[in-house]
Amino acid sequence: MLTAVDPDTRGIVHPGVGLRHFRLTTFAPSPAVARVVERYWVSEWDLGAGESYVQRVLPHPVANVCFEASGASVHGVITGQTSHRLEAKGRAVGITFRPGGFRPYLDHSMSSITNSVRSISDVFGEEGDALEHAVSAAGTAEAVQLIDEFLSSWRTSGPAHVAELSEMVDGVAGDPSLLRVDALARTSAMSARQLERLFKDHVGVGPKWVIRRYRLYEAAEMAQSVTKHRWADVAAELGYSDQAHLIRDFPVDVRRDAAPVRFRSHLTGDTEAARGGGPSTSGRRGGDRAQSSSTNVTSMFTWYSTIRLSLISTRCSLTQALFTFRSVLVARVTPWVIASSKLSGDVALNSVTRATAIGVLLSIRVGPG
C-alpha cells in the first residue's frame, strides 16, 4: 500500500479557495518508480447538482498523466496558465513525474509534447487503454496502486538523465538566489548551451523558463499573503530588472482573471488607482494658489513625468518639453487666449508628440495666483 503525503499546492492559484471546493490527496510512489515519479495525486469534489468551480493552475516544469471520466491523457509541460472546470461530482487521478522523468517513456524529445495533450494510447498503446479502464473502475487507493504497478513493469526505452535533472530543478526550487542560467550551469559543471539542450530534450523547456517559473511561485505566495512587501526589493530578489517587469508578468501568468491595474495596485499599494481614480487634486486648492510660478511648473513636470510612464509611445523627453512649456507657462501672466495662440505657433515647429504633451498641461488650467 502506498503512503499518503502532504500535498504540494505550489502552482494552484488561490489554493485556500480551491481546497474548499475539492479534496486533494497525494501519495508517494514505490521505490521501484520513485526515480521517475514525483507523486500520485487524487482530486475529488462534490459540488452538488448543477454547480461548478473553475480552478486555475500554474503548472510545474514536469509531465503529468491524468485519468478522468472523459479519458486518460498525457500532458507535456504547459508554459501558460491552465483552467480546470469541476462540475457536480467527480474524481481525477494523476501522475506527476519528476523533471525529465517522462523522457524514458518517449522515443523523441520532450519538447515535442510541450504545450500539448496526447491520448495515453499514443505513448503506452493498448496497455495504456487497459490501464485507463481499470483505474476508472477502481477505488482511490486501488487506482493509485494499479498505476504504480503498471509503471514499475513498463520497459522504458528513451535516454535517462532523471537524477541529474531532478537535482538541478530541486536546486532551482529551493534556492531563491539562483536567478541566471549561467549560475545554474556553473553549479552543474556544464556550459549554458549544454544545459539548454539537456533541458529542451528531457524537460521540454529551457532552464531560463524553469528558473522564472519557480521565482513566480515565490512571488505569487507573497502576493497572496497578508504580509506587506517592498515589491521593488522582491523584483530584484527574483531576478527582474525592475518592478514593472514583475508586475507585467503577473496578469499573464498568475492573475489572468484580474484587471492589470487592480493587480498592479495590490503590488504597489496604489488604492486610488485600483478604484479607477487618477492623480489626487485635493491639494491644489487654497494654499496652492499662493505658491510661486516656479513651484507650480515644478509640480507640472512631476505629474508629467508620472503620466509619461503610461505614454511610452510619446518621444518627448522632459528636457525637450521644457522649452515648449516655457512659451505657454512663462510667468503665468500671459492671458490664456494668447497662450493658446503661442501654442498654435509652436505646433508648427514641434513634433505632434510634443504638442500632445502641451495639450495635457493646458487641460489642467492652473490659473494666475
In order, the DSSP letters of 265-281 are HHHHT-HHHHTT--S--
Query: Could you tell me the CA-to-CA distances from 258 to 76, 228, 253, 327 in Å, in that order?
Result: 27, 20, 11, 43
Give residue 229's pLDDT. 65
23 and 128 fall within a common domain: yes
Q: Which CATH number goes with the domain that contains 259?
A: 1.10.10.60
Q: Is residue 281 part of a domain?
A: no
191 and 91 fall within a common domain: no
Q: Is the pLDDT of residue 296 over 60?
A: no
For β-strands 4-5 and 37-46, DSSP reports them as: unpaired
Cα gap 256→248, rounded to integer Å: 11
128 and 35 fall within a common domain: yes
148 and 31 fall within a common domain: yes
Q: Is the pLDDT of residue 205 over 60?
A: yes
Q: Is residue 33 part of a domain?
A: yes
Q: Domain of 175?
A: 162-273
Q: Is residue 283 part of a domain?
A: no
359 and 318 fall within a common domain: yes
228 and 245 fall within a common domain: yes
Cα gap 103→106, rounded to integer Å: 5
Phi-psi region of 71 (alpha: psi -120 to 50; beta: other; left: phi over 0): left
Structurally, the chain folds into a number of domains equal to 3
Residue-wise pLDDT for 243-282, tens only, equals: 777 766 664 545 444 333 444 444 444 444 334 443 333 3
19 and 146 fall within a common domain: yes
301 and 334 fall within a common domain: yes
Residue 128: DSSP 8-state:
H
Q: Which CATH number goes with the domain that contains 100?
A: 2.60.120
Query: Could you tell me the CA-to-CA distances from 308 to 149, 242, 287, 360 in Å, in that order?
Result: 62, 17, 27, 11
CB contact at 8 A, 89 and 46: yes
Lowest-confidence segment of 143-152, 214-223, 306-315 by average pLDDT: 306-315
23 and 98 fall within a common domain: yes
Q: Which three cell numbers stand for residue 33?
A: 518508480
Q: Is the pLDDT of residue 93 over 90?
A: yes
- Of 133, 153, 173, the residue at which a domain comes to its end is 153
Q: Which three cell numbers stand for residue 295?
A: 513651484
Cα gap 43→22, rounded to integer Å: 6
Q: Is residue 52 part of a domain?
A: yes
Residue with cell 495533450: 117
Lowest-confidence segment of 9-18, 119-128, 342-351 by average pLDDT: 342-351
